[in-house]
Chain A
Amino acid sequence: MTYSSYWLTNVRLETGYQYNNETITGTDTSIFHLLVENGKFARIVPQETVISDDLIKYDAQKSLLLPTFKEMHIHLDKTYYGGPWKAVTPAKSIFDRFAEEKELLPQLLPTAKDRAEKILSLLIGFGSTHVRTHVNIDPVVGLKNLEATLDALQTFSGKISHEIVAFPQHGLLHSGVESLVREALKHGATHVGGVDPHTVDGNIEKSLNTIIEMAVDTNSEIDIHIHDRDHLGLFTMNRLADLTEQARLHNKVTVSHAFGFAGIPEAKAAELAARFTQLGIEVTSTVPIGKLIMPIPLLEEKGVQISLGTDSLTDHWSPFGNGDNLEKAGRLAELYGYADEWSLSQSLKFITGGKTPLDKQGKQVWPVVGDDADMNLVKASCSAEAVARRATREAVFYKGTLLSGSLSH
């Protein structure tokens, strides 16, 4: 499908919520025809409208249209995916894993591009058209994983948008890679990464300051892994907030994992969440289900922008993970008891960068003429069903171009 203008006919769009007394019990939808021009929605007309032009028409057969998804935390450069099965070997600490990586990363390097491409195909098939990947910048691989990842993303140019975090996995200070990270930022990385300023770098202040400094110097954004728990994580994140404010990096900082929000008094978590909201510091989560449960509903209530990510997709850190962001949203809903229509429906925003067809009040807000035609056709009657039932994705479009699935015309 290569037409710059075409109609996507018989598309189901959500138009409002159904109420029974005060309770939302369902979602209203109607069938529309959408004109896509130069990768954008150009017209959205009701089903009854007679289309008189000669443009090609693709029939969506009343499937539901959803925004495409965003995979906001993955390591495209470190995976067994597409290669032979390998379980995780036991490790006592994160430093054991670093030691493991010293041997493993050079072994994975020859297949890194190929495997990254396989993951990108997988993500697109699941309906994601944006990926933020972390890329190891460490003394072992130098910039080679970045190169492999850039090559893979080049293969998918025009099919998926991306951000690359220069990720000093073995510690920015601990492994002494500040200059390599700076190099990476000159060669395609868009974000400065980091990991546990205390546990890994052993110097919260210097680690955070260095990250901030690099971001300011290079006009980059920040996405830092903070696994450090409870009050340590809380302290680290508060300090990060201080520095973000001083450096005026509002809306440019993400904390991945952010485990410090869990296992501390709710008032403390709420206070930090309010700071994050004020400074536009985002949180990305894999939605852990074990002993540590993130207080995502609290963060959400305080207005923190939350995104989800797959993180490991079968690698030496975890044998799980499958790249399906819609499944991840469903897991979030199940974990936090979002089982009613409204909660399920609104859960979609965690994987779309905040986009939902209906806003909180049930007003139709997507798609809008002029928006990029990044869209998923799914086999569901509404967003709530898609999230709860992990709807089959029938066709995935990026800027109007069909990437995955098929359509009849």
Chain B
Amino acid sequence: MSSSYWLTNVCLEKGFRYENGVVIGTETENCHLLVENGKIAKIISADTLPDDQLQKKDVDNLLALPSFIEKHVHLDKTILGEKWRAVTPVASIFERFEIEKRVLPSLSTTTKERAKALIEILLQAGSTHIRTHVDIYQEAGLTNFFEIQEALADYEGKLSSEIVAFPQHGLLRNNCADLVREAVRNGASLVGGVDPANVDGNMEKSLQQMMEIAVEGNADIDLHLHDPGKLGLATIKRLAQLTEEAGWQGRVAVSHAFALADMIEGEADEMAQMLSELGISIITSVPIGRTIPPATFLHNKGVQVAVACDNIFDSWSPFGNGDILERASRLAELTGRSTEQKLAETLGFITGGITPLNKNGQQAWPKVGDDASIVFTEASCSAEAIARRSNRPAVMYRGKLVSGGFTKG
């Protein structure tokens, strides 16, 4: 595709349709979009076909959605492309660590190959940004990290990405702070961590060290926190204090954060306000069969909440398919978001908050000047796409097709 071209007959959401003050549907309109240097340069009604010489790609009325963000995967853990194997039952997370350490190096494919297989699936699903954790531990050193870097380098220009240097086996427990530092020096833009209390056994030191490495390397933070109840809440509060002290507002995320599901009345408002003020975001993979952070409550209180896939066929879980839209649909189902507006709003959990229509039903995306990062969807509106997990025949990143294509164009 040349650097300037038209996307013709693109279906865009225009506003909500109301009946007795209630949103009952979504209005759309067909438009032509001029793409210039990867950005949307013009949006015009489909009534008039531009008579310039630029190439025209007929989108054939597919719905445009902002491309998705996959906020939590482990590209280095998946066994996609390998022979089937179920998960071995274990008595503790530490047994799981040992199994994974043994299994991954024994596979016939390389980490890079498996990561690329997964990246393809993520792109097909419509994710054009990937935040991946990569295991950093003594026995592996930075081998996983470099392989994932290579895999992602092969997709340069097709997606954006960020790597979390993730001490899966415990920053303290595995004594791998120096390795994490090295990963940050080599391009990891986030420092990870896991259960400062129950894995590392020293909440204070674990959190301090994680923060110290982040500040030193000018990196963000994304902490895996499974620790439940008051223990998890205490961890989040301490992390918040350290965030404030370090001036790391807007740079910290807590993944899973199961403890937020255990907040009692009174605690919740205070916690949400703190997270919101410090710009600490929450990432959930919407696991079923256990309680999860109150996504809707947090969102309404101004906390950034993202839905992510997490495990996709690895030593931890035999499930997961990398389809972030399906995950968002699961959140909607699980939390009873079944009306037009609630479904439409759910999209924001997988787009970094961008939705075609804002709360008041005004068109908010796409705007001239936005990146042409678009998922072309067989749906009549966002709400349908979420509920029905609609097919996505084409995915575009900064004006470039990165998965699928248009049948007409």
Q: In the complex, what distance in Å separates the CA atom of A87 from the CA atom of B387?
A: 8
Interchain CB contact under 8 A, A389 and B380: no
Given contacts A26-B85, A86-B25, A389-B313, are A289 and B333 in contact (CB under 8 A)? yes
Cβ-closest chain B residue relative to A380: B84
- B86 closest partner in A (C-beta): A341
Using C-beta atoms within 8 Å of the partner chain, give the interface range for chain A.
35 or more
| Contacts from A to B (Cβ < 8 Å) | 23, 25-26, 84-90, 289-290, 293, 314, 318-320, 322, 330-331, 333-337, 339-341, 344, 380-382, 384-385, 388-390
**Which of chain B's residues have a CB closer than 8 A to the CB of A88?**
338-339
Residue from B24, B88, B332 with most neighbouring chain A CB atoms (10 Å): B88
Distance between B244 CB and nearest chain A CB, rounded to angstroms: 34
Segment among B37-45, B196-204, B315-323 that sits at the interface with chain A: B315-323
Q: Is B330 an interface residue (CB 8 A)?
A: yes
User: Complex formed: what's the CA distance from A337 to B317 in Å?
Assistant: 9
B93: chain A residues within 8 A (beta carbon): none
B334 contacts partner chain A, Cβ-Cβ < 8 Å: yes
B84 touches A381 (CB 8 A): yes
Q: How far is the CB of B246 from chain A (nearest CB, A)?
A: 38
B343 and A319 form a contact (CB under 8 A): yes
* A90 CA / B338 CA spacing, docked (Å): 8
How many chain B residues touch A (Cβ–Cβ < 8 Å)? 36
Q: Least Cβ distance of B99 to chain A in Å?
A: 12
With A322-B389, A336-B289 in contact, is A87–B88 under 8 Å at CB? Answer: no
Cα distance A335–B334 in the bound complex, in angstroms: 12
Contact check, A334 vs B388: say whether CB atoms are below 8 A apart. Answer: no
Complex CA gap A23/B88 in Å reads 9
Q: Which residues of A contact B25 (CB under 8 A)?
A: 86-87
Q: Which of the listed residues A319, A341, A390 has the most CB atoms from chain B within 10 Å of its own CB?
A: A319
Which one of B84, B330, B332, B388 has the highest number of Cβ atoms from chain A below 10 Å of its Cβ?
Answer: B84
A–B complex contacts, Cβ < 8 Å, 17 sampled: A25-B86, A25-B88, A84-B380, A85-B383, A87-B25, A87-B383, A88-B338, A90-B22, A289-B289, A293-B289, A320-B333, A322-B388, A331-B288, A333-B319, A339-B319, A344-B318, A389-B313
Contact of A390 among B88, B321, B339 (CB under 8 A): B321
A340/B88 in contact, CB under 8 A: yes
- Which residue of chain A lies nearest to B329 when distances are taken between CB atoms in the complex? A320
Contact of A335 (CB < 8 Å), options: B288, B318, B332, B389: B288
Query: Do A388 and B288 have beta carbons less than 8 Å apart?
Result: no
Residues of B within 8 A of A (CB): 22, 24-25, 83-89, 288-289, 313, 317-319, 321, 329-330, 332-336, 338-340, 343, 379-381, 383-384, 387-389
The reply to whether A334 and B319 contact each other, CB–CB distance below 8 Å, is yes
A307 to chain B, nearest CB (A): 20
- Chain A residues with CB below 8 A from B319, complex form: 330, 333-334, 339, 388
Complex interface: chain A residues within 8 A of B384 (CB): 85, 87
A340: chain B residues within 8 A (beta carbon): 86-89
Contact (A388, B339) CB under 8 Å given A319-B388, A334-B319 = no
- A106–B341 Cα distance when bound, in Å, is 26
CB distance from A174 to the nearest CB of B (A): 25
Q: How far is the CA of A337 from the CA of B89 in the complex (A)?
A: 10
- Give the 10 A-B CB pairs with smallest separation, nearest first: A319-B387, A388-B318, A87-B340, A341-B86, A385-B84, A339-B87, A85-B384, A88-B338, A289-B288, A335-B289
Distance from A15 Cβ to chain B, minimum over Cβ atoms (Å) = 16
Q: Contact check, B388 vs A389: say whether CB atoms are below 8 A apart.
A: no
- Specify which chain A residues have a CB less than 8 angstroms from the CB of B289 in the assembled complex: 289, 293, 334-337
> Complex Cα distance A336/B288, Å?
8
The answer for the CA separation of A86 and B88 in the assembled complex, in Å, is 43
Q: Flag if B333 contacts A382 (CB, 8 Å).
A: no
- A97 to chain B minimum Cβ distance, whole angstroms, is 12
